[in-house]
Chain A
Amino acid sequence: MKIQTLSLGVLLVAFWALNSGLFKPLMFGLGTASVLLVLLISSRMKVIDSESQPLYLTKNIPGYYLWLLKELVISNIKVVGTIWRSNLQLQPALATIKMDHLSEMGKVIYANSISLTPGTVTTEVTENSITVHALDKSSIAEIKSGEMEARVRKLDK
């Protein structure tokens, strides 16, 4: 049995327990049966691997989330400030930014993090570049400085 099967099982049990909240014998039996069925189906579909269960990220991801939360708050304040300014002087920009090689998972995390922060949206991801639309030119410069990319790269190891 792979470690990923175990982690998926734990995840499903936790999901079931949170949704149900009832622990009568009948309910418990039905819950166990459905968890086992899902595990069986997904192992036959061969989707239980390190792509669907990226366990190697576990060590570094909490630190990354905390940093991302800080970035979220900062850029939210910036965008809300722009919204309430009386004369709307926008300097939006669309730019393609080069990046060094990242793994598939790294690219997904990087592009989604950029989209999640208000003020920047990823529109296209290719092998070694990323296209970003930003509400303000300064956000493009911030991404070009490469701090987020470096943090994502650290996750990969």
Chain B
Amino acid sequence: MSIVATYLSWALLVLGGLLCISGSVGLLRFPDFYTRMHAASVTDTLATGMILAGLMLQAPTWIVLGKLFMILVFVLLTGPTAGHALAKAALHSGLKPLLPGKSGVLEADNKPSGGV
């Protein structure tokens, strides 16, 4: 394997790790469920993609490469589906999203927004 591929792979892995931590920090910092969901989708998409792409560059055989690619496809396909199911279930159960009110401060109950 050429030296360029090695460096590129490490760069992708480290960036992916940083994105992973960013997503989790967002999960802790954001104020309500709906905003936390956006932080979670950072880890679902680019962090997973970068780490798996970094591993792909170091794959010893074609089989390993193919399996890494399949995992990536699974995660990218199931991520939005699970996210949508969660958001829909939360909205239907009556969990109100925080929205900026008149004064610009986030509040949960600024008039029911036109029936779910």
A interface residues, Cβ below 8 angstroms from B: 15, 18-19, 21, 72-73, 76, 79-80, 82-84, 88, 90-94, 96, 111-112, 115-124, 133, 135
Contact = CB atoms under 8 A, between A and B. Distances in A.
Interface residues of B, number: 39
Interface of B: 19, 22-23, 25-26, 29-31, 34-35, 37-39, 41-42, 45-46, 61, 63, 66-67, 70, 76, 79-81, 83-84, 87-88, 91, 97-100, 106, 113-114, 116
- Secondary structure of the B contact surface, majority rule: helix
- Secondary structure of the A contact surface, majority rule: mixed
B41 A121 contact: yes
Contacts of A15: 70
A19 to B, nearest CB: 8
A123 B98 contact: no
Nearest to B114: A96
A116 B80 contact: yes
A88 B106 CA distance: 11
